Chains A and B, each alone.
Chain A
Amino acid sequence: GNSVTQMEGPVTLSEEAFLTINCTYTATGYPSLFWYVQYPGEGLQLLLKATKADDKGSNKGFEATYRKETTSFHLEKGSVQVSDSAVYFCALSDQNTDKLIFGTGTRLQVFP
């Protein structure tokens, strides 16, 4: 079945450091891929998405590229801020049912 695997956290960085959170997926067909972010005490917000191979999603300085050859959708940011501290979820959208299948989430902690 479809699944998403994310790197385990927490990821701890100093402000202005480079961020990578790895995400790989297993799916039949051509799913859409998403990164959602959950700030403390809040619901999930869509951060970025990509709907086909080689698409790059970007938002708020975060980027991720849909790599079909490596079945990956790694999240990157060149310079993190304290306000980026949150839990980040990689997800894919099942083509047949539209349900989202989430990875386990990766907690990012950014210190000044």
Chain B
Amino acid sequence: DTAVSQTPKYLVTQMGNDKSIKCEQNLGHDTMYWYKQDSKKFLKIMFSYNNKELIINETVPNRFSPKSPDKAHLNLHINSLELGDSAVYFCASSTRTVAKNIQYFGAGTRLSVL
């Protein structure tokens, strides 16, 4: 069973569209994250949720809106997509109670905005 799963794996869309990426973890973790990896492989955190509450919101445009319906899910909705949004987006999860902040990553969603 996949521990952190993201869908879709690939997403190709036109500029101006709205799209969502879903993430689910079955590890029983209480904290989930979204990271963006650019074309040079640089990884930067975007958001973090703990028990469905937002705890980290880096300087991300408000076109990006995370939603956590429960602590096992953290979805990312992106409005009005721009060319610069093309990247690989990784979801991750962790728990503070065991093995402090070892984060487990999904396989990534490659977003291409045309």
Contacts and interface: CB of A to CB of B under 8 A. Distances in A.
B48 A97 contact: yes
Given A98-B31, A102-B44, A104-B40, A46 B102 contact: yes
B55 interface: yes
B102 to A, nearest CB: 6
Main secondary structure of the interface of B (DSSP, over half): strand
Contact of B101 (A89, A98, A102): A98
B96 A98 contact: yes
A47 to B, nearest CB: 11
Interface string A35-55: 010100011111001010000
Q: How large is the interface on A (under 10, 10 to 19, 20 to 34, 35 or more residues)?
A: 20 to 34
Interface in B38-72: 40-45, 48, 55-56
A99 interface: yes
Interface in A21-76: 32, 34, 36, 38, 42-46, 49, 51
A32 B42 contact: no
A73 B48 CA distance: 26
A97 B56 contact: yes
B107 A42 contact: yes
Contacts of B103: 46, 100
Contacts of B100: 32, 51, 93, 98
Contacts of A101: 45
